[in-house]
Structure 1
Amino acid sequence: MKRRVNIYKNMMSGISQLLPFIVAGGVFISLSFLFNSYQSNSEIALWFNDTGKLIISFSLPVLAAFIAYAIADRPGLVPGFIAGALALAGGSGFLGALIGGFASGYIALIIIKIFSRLPRSVHGFNAILFFPVLGALFAALFMIGVNLVIEPATTTLITFINGLNVVGVIITGLVAASLMAFDLGGPVNKVTYMLGIATIINGDQSILMAAIMAG
């Protein structure tokens, strides 16, 4: 039970850190629509839209980094950021960053354990050389496999959501809103909210997130 609680807390540590990026990026993109409604294809609207998307793109590295940080403290930050960035670049999205964050944290713990046995004379190099370099290397290698497995599933899910007809959108919205209201603040509520965040990060129009917020 203790391990489950720790996994949940580590995951929520990452999610709580990515939310400000989602909010800030979402506000910028909303402002781009506002300015675009006054003047079509205006430079201001384009700037807000591009900046908003850039801000949201930081959310995956932040998610993975702070999950890894919750597991391994500072040595987990660099491999976590690398894992999140590779999840974004490789198309595995939110789920890839989530897996990469946990993996990076445990990779960092293993590296810490190994290097704790070395002479104290080299311990000064751990934080600035060994931990970040080896952590980044093994996290990057791990993400090759994650992207190969998760990217097709992520693409299929986004294609499915974007391809829904009106009836499908209504049913999906009702299910998402019901799950959101099922146990306010509970695990079902948080998992549903995470799915909504994933659709935003992955570039979907996020019909799912709109329904979740309504719920």
Structure 2
Amino acid sequence: MLHEKATASSLTLSDKIDRVVTNRWLALPVFVLIMWGIYTIAMGGTVVSIGTMGTDWVNDVLFGEWIPNGVETLLTTLGVGEVLSSLIQDGIVAGVGAVLGFVPQILVLFFLLSILEDCGYMSRVAFIMDRLFRRFGLSGKSFIPLLVATGCGVPGIMASRTIEQDRDRKLTIMTTGFIPCGAKMPIIGLFAGAVFGQSPWVATSAFVIGIAA
């Protein structure tokens, strides 16, 4: 049987991209660079961090000035008591604002991830990581939610929607919750400091065990 080796001129653009993004040595560095760019745009603190700008505007302007001032004016006009007014302002308005503050970052993150999905890069990443993750009963696509969960568990779990198989998606959701994120770190530090005498080993162990679990 005769096998003809593909020449550089006969390779399509997709084939040339595959040679780089699925290369044994370049695949992971390229992936880290791309994810760094996505994190920087969605959740970073630079001039191109659109998601952070949106979150800061929602927290500081929309729910920091506009809505509280408008609600306060409305409550004063209606003659609402101080206790009920405090409950509405500090409870409902502040609570809703704290939750909606994450929306801009999540929207930007999922928009960028959807671009990677549509251009086929996520499938290539899943192909690279599939052999390793199958040893743990997970799909190669589970790598993205687990990575995103190191920043925040909520978008990490939501990122599992790209996994087609129901079993793999549910396993990814359950395991993603164990990844220590920014919200879990203060709790780990609180328990290590208040219960275990500020033991650094307890904090480190909780972080590592969460990932290992």
Pick the TM interval, shorter chain: 0.3 to 0.5
> Based on CA coordinates, which of the two structures has the bigger radius of gyration?
2
**Is the helix fraction higher in 1 or 2?**
1
Q: TM (normalized to structure 1)?
A: 0.36
Q: Higher relative CO (CA 8 A, sep ≥ 6), structure 1 or 2?
A: 1
TM-score (norm 2): 0.36
